[in-house]
């Protein structure tokens, strides 16, 4: 039993390197503050008012400020906040919409775009081919694949690794599931694939966001929906399998809600996914259907976390995680999305060194060579396919957007290995970011503001860690103030 518990804890810790959030307490998530454009991160901010909200006056216009005042004083949302001390879902596990909490407020329909590992996946087995005799070959009902905590025990975890691994076809640049394994995103169009990633409610994702939205009248399935997807896949494959579904859902939500334009919120890699989706849509379509876009902790331009994850199991805190790391790394190397999330040359240029070794230094342009040196040739092929198709371009999205993100958090920007075979954990070099994504990718709205006519507004949140924005009271208040107009 002790061995099982240790293995489970180690795997969960390992998943945090791949997952878009880092482990932060509810207090940390709640107390990060939205910074004004003239605030100095090195100085203490103004006294925090009782409602714990610090938002730049330049960001909120008059009508939004009125809505925000209502939210924090008289709305059902304010009642929940006072009762629970925050929108934490362990107090309010179920979601009950408040029917028209005020007839004067108009809700903008909202679609959630999840992150890497940001929605549940389901699987079923039909003649699964396995090298392990103890792995189930047939199971025809759909069951929770990600994240099934019960799978993380000795021997059973080998079956799980096989089930979540992909098979890469260099000729088509497409991936398929393991033989005999079917995988689908949970609850496309609903919310129960994005509230909790596990089946027992331990790992919340959008649970607090959903609780806040339903408390002010949002109705899941009508004006609150989620575009769950298989986040293992390459952006090219998502453009074929996911993007038509997002387009159809958007147009349906628009019609069902009285031809109201639709808002979108994405988290981490979800920002890169939705950015690619927008790049495939005409400006006429975007003007007709998109009201506003909230990018939370957007991973435009990638992250060093993906590089660490792909290189070697010894990169995980400098040891092999009791033998678990090697299996996890070999599995993750089959996911093209991880390769996509390596730092992009388009953002960082050709001269910034990300990986130092005794014999060669690697920039973003050198990442395919780096992967081959680490015996990850298939992953190198995935990355080359993604780059050759122009899927790391960072053109302005052409819609009103708020880039909401943390800052002032030390973030890995380079790795220094003492050997050429990556058999020891690296020395890490840190600069500013949100703990996962460097500041250059987070504040991409500053670039887009000069490239498009629609508003592109950077909204930094002091000391907020990557992935915690969907639980942060200030961020949720700000979003709702823009949605209820």
Please spell the DSSP secondary structure of 88-146, one letter per residue.
Answer: -TTT--S----S-S-TT--BPPEEEE--TT-S-EEEEEES---S-TTS--EEEEEEEEE
- Secondary structure element (H or E) that encloses residue 212, with its range: helix 207-215
CA dihedral 75, 79, 81, 85 (to 10 degrees): 160
Q: What are phi and psi of 482, to 5 degrees?
A: -85, -25
**pLDDT at residue 467 in the model:** 92
Residue ranges of domains in the chain, CATH in brackets: 29-118+191-303+392-483 (3.40.50.1820), 121-185 (no CATH)
**pLDDT at residue 83 in the model:** 40
Tell me how many degrees the CA angle 206-431-341 measures, rounded to the nearest 5. Answer: 50
| CA 96/CA 214 separation, integer angstroms | 6
Beta bridge partner(s), residue 292: 263
Beta bridge partner(s), residue 356: 361, 416
Tell me how many degrees the CA angle 250-254-258 measures, rounded to the nearest 5. Answer: 170
Which residues 6+ apart lie within 8 Å of 158 measured at CB? 132, 135, 327
Output DSSP code: residue 451. T
Tell me how many degrees the CA angle 254-259-264 measures, rounded to the nearest 5. Answer: 40
Per-residue pLDDT of the chain (485 residues; tens, 9 = 90+): 433 333 344 344 444 334 433 333 333 444 454 544 334 444 333 333 333 333 333 444 454 555 555 555 555 445 444 443 443 333 333 454 444 444 446 899 999 999 999 999 999 999 999 999 999 999 999 999 998 888 888 888 899 999 999 999 999 999 999 999 999 999 999 999 999 988 888 888 999 999 999 999 999 999 999 999 999 999 999 999 999 999 999 999 999 999 999 999 999 999 999 999 999 999 999 999 999 999 999 999 999 989 988 886 654 443 334 445 668 888 999 999 999 999 999 999 999 999 999 999 999 999 999 999 999 999 999 999 999 999 999 999 999 999 999 999 999 999 999 888 887 778 899 999 999 999 999 999 999 999 999 999 999 999 999 999 999 999 999 999 999 87
Q: How many CA atoms lie within 13 A of 188 on its CB side?
A: 19
User: Which tokens go with 334?
Assistant: 């089959």
**pLDDT at residue 88 in the model:** 36
3-state secondary structure of 70: helix
Strands 224-226 and 262-267, bridge-based pairing: unpaired
Strands 290-296 and 401-407, bridge-based pairing: parallel
Cβ–Cβ < 8 Å for 226, 119: yes
Q: What are phi and psi of 197, to 5 degrees?
A: -80, -20
Question: Whole-prediction pTM value?
Answer: 0.83
User: How many helices (H) and strands (E) would you count in the chain?
Assistant: 19, 16
- Secondary structure element (H or E) that encloses residue 265, with its range: strand 262-267
User: Which tokens go with 457?
Assistant: 């507004």
């Amino acid at each position: 039993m002790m061995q099982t518990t240790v293995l489970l804890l180690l795997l969960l810790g390992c998943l945090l390197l791949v997952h878009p959030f880092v482990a932060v307490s509810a207090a940390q998530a709640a107390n990060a503050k939205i910074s004004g454009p003239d605030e100095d991160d090195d100085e203490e901010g103004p006294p925090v008012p009782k409602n714990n909200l610090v938002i730049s006056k330049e960001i909120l216009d008059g009508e939004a400020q009125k809505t925000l005042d209502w939210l924090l004083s008289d709305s059902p949302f304010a009642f929940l906040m006072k009762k629970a001390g925050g929108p934490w879902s362990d107090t309010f596990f179920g979601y009950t919409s408040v029917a028209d909490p005020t007839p004067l407020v108009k809700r903008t329909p909202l679609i959630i775009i999840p992150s890497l590992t940001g929605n549940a996946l389901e699987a079923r087995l039909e003649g699964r081919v396995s090298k392990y005799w103890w792995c189930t070959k047939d199971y025809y009902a759909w069951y929770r694949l990600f994240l099934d905590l019960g799978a993380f025990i000795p021997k059973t975890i080998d079956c799980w690794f096989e089930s979540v691994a992909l098979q890469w076809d260099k000729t088509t640049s497409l991936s398929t599931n393991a033989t005999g394994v079917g995988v689908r995103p949970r609850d496309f169009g609903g919310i129960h694939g994005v509230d909790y990633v596990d089946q027992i409610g331990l790992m919340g994702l959008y649970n607090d966001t959903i609780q806040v939205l339903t408390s002010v009248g949002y109705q899941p399935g009508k004006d609150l929906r989620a575009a769950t997807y298989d986040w293992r896949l390459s952006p090219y494959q998502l453009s074929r399998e996911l993007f038509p579904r997002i387009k159809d859902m958007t147009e349906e939500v628009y019609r069902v809600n009285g031809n109201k334009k639709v808002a979108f919120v994405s988290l981490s890699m979800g920002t890169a996914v939705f950015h690619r989706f927008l790049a495939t849509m005409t400006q006429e379509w975007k003007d007709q259907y998109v009201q506003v876009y909230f990018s939370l902790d957007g991973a435009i331009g990638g992250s060093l976390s993906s590089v660490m994850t792909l290189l070697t199991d010894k990169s995980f805190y400098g040891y092999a995680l009791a033998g678990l790391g090697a299996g996890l790394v070999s599995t993750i190397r089959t996911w093209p999305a991880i390769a996509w999330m390596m730092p992009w040359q388009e953002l960082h240029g050709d001269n910034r060194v990300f990986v130092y070794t005794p014999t060669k230094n690697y920039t973003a342009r050198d990442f395919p060579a780096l992967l081959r040196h680490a015996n990850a040739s298939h992953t190198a092929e995935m990355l080359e396919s993604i780059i050759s198709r122009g899927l790391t371009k960072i053109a302005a999205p052409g819609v009103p957007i708020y880039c909401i993100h943390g800052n002032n958090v030390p973030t890995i920007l380079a790795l220094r290995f003492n050997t050429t075979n990556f058999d020891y954990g690296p020395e890490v070099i840190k600069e500013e970011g949100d703990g996962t994504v460097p500041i250059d990718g987070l504040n991409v709205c500053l670039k887009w503001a000069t490239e498009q006519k629609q508003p592109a507004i950077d909204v930094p949140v002091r000391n907020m860690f990557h992935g915690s924005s969907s639980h942060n009271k200030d961020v949720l208040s700000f979003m709702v103030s823009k949605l209820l107009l």
